[in-house]
Amino acid sequence: MSEVVKIGMLGITGVLFALLFKGEKQEYMHYIGFGAALLIFWYVARSLFSVMERLESLRKYLAGGEGYLGTLLKVVGITYICEFSAGICRDAGFSSVAGQIEVLGKLSVMFAGLPILLAVIEQIQGFL
């Protein structure tokens, strides 16, 4: 949790520092924002390896349920990609495109989760 606070503070500090250059040197503002984004991305990429190691250890405990873990990763990936893309579109002033990307993300998550829902329904019917 403390790492999330650190990264949040890094983002806020980067934005506030970039705002200092908003009136005078617009290009510096963009460079600072880009640099802060790269630092945050580097941290996320570094943390991704530890997440993958933990998921690999979790996979050992899932006897025959590896498909559920794959679906979970797919849903998380869809969510991040759509949120990132919608944020870029919204920042560029295209909020209608951002809204459509968000709708696409929600529908994609729903379709990705349907096999799990069907498996749960089959399990419930097996008990009846």
| DSSP states of 89-109 | HHHTT-HHHHHHHHHHHHHHH
Mean pLDDT of the chain: 83
- Residue 64 has a pLDDT of 66
pLDDT digits over 22-31, tens only?
Answer: 777 778 887 8
Query: Is-contact 69 112, C-beta < 8 A?
Result: no
Q: What is the pLDDT of residues 47-75, one digit of tens each?
A: 877 877 887 777 777 766 667 778 888 88
| 101 band by pLDDT with thresholds 50, 70 and 90 | very high
Using a cut of 0.75, tell me whether the model's pTM lies above it: no
Query: Which phi and psi angles does 123 have, rounded to 5°?
Result: -65, -40
Task: Look at residue 128 and give its three-state secondary structure.
Answer: coil
Q: In 3D, which of 31, 37, 30, 46 has the Cα closest to residue 11?
A: 37
